[in-house]
Structure 1
Amino acid sequence: MHAWPASEVPALPGKGRDLKIHDTATQGTITLAPGPVARIYVCGITPYDATHIGHAATSNAFDLVQRVWLDTKRQVHYVQNVTDVDDPLLERAQRDGHDWTELAERETVLFREDMTALRMLPPQHYIGAVEAIPGIVPLVERLRDAGAAYDLDGDVYFSVESDPHFGGVSHLDAEAMRLLSAERGGDPERPGKKNPLDPMLWMAARPGEPSWDGGSLGRGRPGWHIECVAIALDHLGMGFDIQGGGSDLVFPHHEMGASHAQVLTGEFPMAKAYVHAGMVALHGEKMSKSRGNLVFVSALRRSGVDPAAIRLALLSHHYRADWEWTDAVLEDAVARLARWRAAVSRPDGLPADALVEEVRAALSADLDAPAALAAVDRWVELQLAGGGDDESAPGLVSRTVDALLGVAL
């Protein structure tokens, strides 16, 4: 599966700062200092509906991570999956009378278009669950052979008790885990499981549903968590720098994935930092496909909204915050974009070297994009009030906003 084209990232004078980021697992801020190549895995979409603002906000958070690392003169090895076979996708296809493969492809194409318009940097490896199946099957077999997985009526489950570190990502108690498991794709009430929290690794073929050859596992399809583990281990190995996604993935997805990987390899931890973006609400409720309260990026673009304004709307909120999308949020972003473009369109201006360092400092401090925007706002206000005579300043500001915030002025 191919990703989307990359926009050019301008080079800035000097060098950026190492990233300090909030780690869900340690429940504190840690400093990441990768080697020459920084490694990041971000969980991607289940393509049964168009890209909404919640997806875009999560993508924006991890795009900022890449930009901070690139500014430190590192390379970035970024991997993302597409869950192109899963119950929600199959259910939507059946409800609407569509072929599930065509639905997945159509929505993945639209996601790529939205990411391109928003100037999100693409992953080097963009892998669908279906194409990962040949690598998933041996991992499930290894877990089973090691006694970390078991058969239940043809399905294969992972035993969470096989990982001594289980629970170390989310820090939730058993009852909270059970409730979230039931809400987010698990089956804690299924009779016969060794532990209600045990997640499925391989689902035996069901009538009328797609299935693949699973070798000794029989025909079936993979569970959700093992999909990401197989892709991450194949392309990044253990101990990569960031495992990322929305905060709704902390449990069960990232907790289970970490346990799968740690039992498979005998190494700990799977990732140096578990980083999670907040949820976006609409009309007082979390924006989600199941509720149908969605604002689609593609619909905003079709209505004539500049993608740069959408991006500024996302950047105006800290990535870990839960916030609400409103007309006022977008209107403020449109107005800010107009002010910034007016300021950098002047032939000269106020020196901007200090601004570059302010933006760098803000983003290196747990991706504080609102502080970065405020710094640019201060320069813009003075520039529009009279400015200075530095002919290089407008261009430097424009390149800084592009390189570090992903906004083309």
Structure 2
Amino acid sequence: MASSADQLPLPGAGAPSTFEEATYRKVARRLTPLLLLCYVVAYLDRVNIGFAKLQMAADLQLSDTVYGLGAGIFFIGYFFFEVPSNLILHRVGARIWIARIMITWGIISALTMFVTTPTMFYVMRFLLGLAEAGFFPGIILYLTYWYPAHRRGRMTTWFMTAIALSGVIGGPISGYILKTFNGVNGWHGWQWLFLLEGLPSIVVGVIVFAMLDDRIGKAKWLTDEEKQLLERNIKAEEAEKEDPPLGTVLTSPRVLLMSLIYFSFVMGLYGVSFWLPTIIKATGVTDAFAIGLLSAIPFAAAVIAMVLIARSADRMRERRWHVALPAAAGAVGLVLSVAWAHNTLLAMTALTIATAGIITTLPLFWSLPTSFLAGAGAAAGIAMVNSIGNLAGFLSPYAVGWLKQATAANDSGMYMLAAFMVLGGLLVLSVPGRMVNK
């Protein structure tokens, strides 16, 4: 007689059962809050330099070019250790490796408070990137262990709402710290900013070590029937994917195309993330706390846009247009932010459109490479795409800073970012729909 597990429906064999839906809801309740918390503190540590600049640049005599280079050099360290880090995670498990990443980057982020020269600034940003390398692609890989493609888009979106949530939460908090703690204990506000926003990463790293399960089979909070259902769904999908040798993955035209697409979108992301406070200040707002509150608005809108568009993409099982259209919206918003630069209300409207469009492209983009890679190939391929794409995190803030200093205006930098968003959207539409719409 067949067991109840043997009678569970296969993926694609009709509508999901009530039991299957309940099981995935259970997994989401367990994983989503923890992963979301991880990325909120991660992203906050990565981009709080944008708020620190409001005081740090004057205190340390940093030019816009020096700041842009320091902000972006994070991604050089990130680039070098990305692929090795993901391969290590695939071997030793997410629990140990994600915890290690979070604790080390929290320590380095907090120590940035002691920077006194441009060289020290560059070194600490490089080390922060080295410490954090592997976190994001590691989580994307981790989700492939739990969810088939048609469910993974929405889960990736929930995870990546952390980018927007860190802006919603981090903007007001960062502005408050800069304004309130400046001078306390003889430290500048930006020093307190690095310390107080670095400590949560260490705490969350300890929580990850205690709570995260490496694989479905190790989850004691799942019943045997639930584990069998989840593993069957994953195995059915893995059978249709490629798991090529490492060398083949790293030279694959499809992986390189995905890298270029992601590079284009990350140009927009970090151009906005690192420079948003400065752009808002240029509209005439001078109070640090007010800048923090205003910076939360575009990210709050992005949370709503991300969830709604991901829900539509999963329901329709269509990915390309759900990525390309937000990319176009992001480009339009960037151009309008230049046209309306001298009116705070209009500029904030444009920046909200730009931020929502740019950030919405990111989680749905990751449904593209994960739809055709599996196993160690997925570990290497995802890390490859993320590492090359995140080189834009180096180029974008530096290029915006250089253009701003060369032209004494934000216009050229925003036009450049808009062009990359358009390029990324067009490249997405060049991907065959049969390959990614699952």
TM-score (norm 2): 0.25
Higher helix share: 2
TM-score (norm 1): 0.26
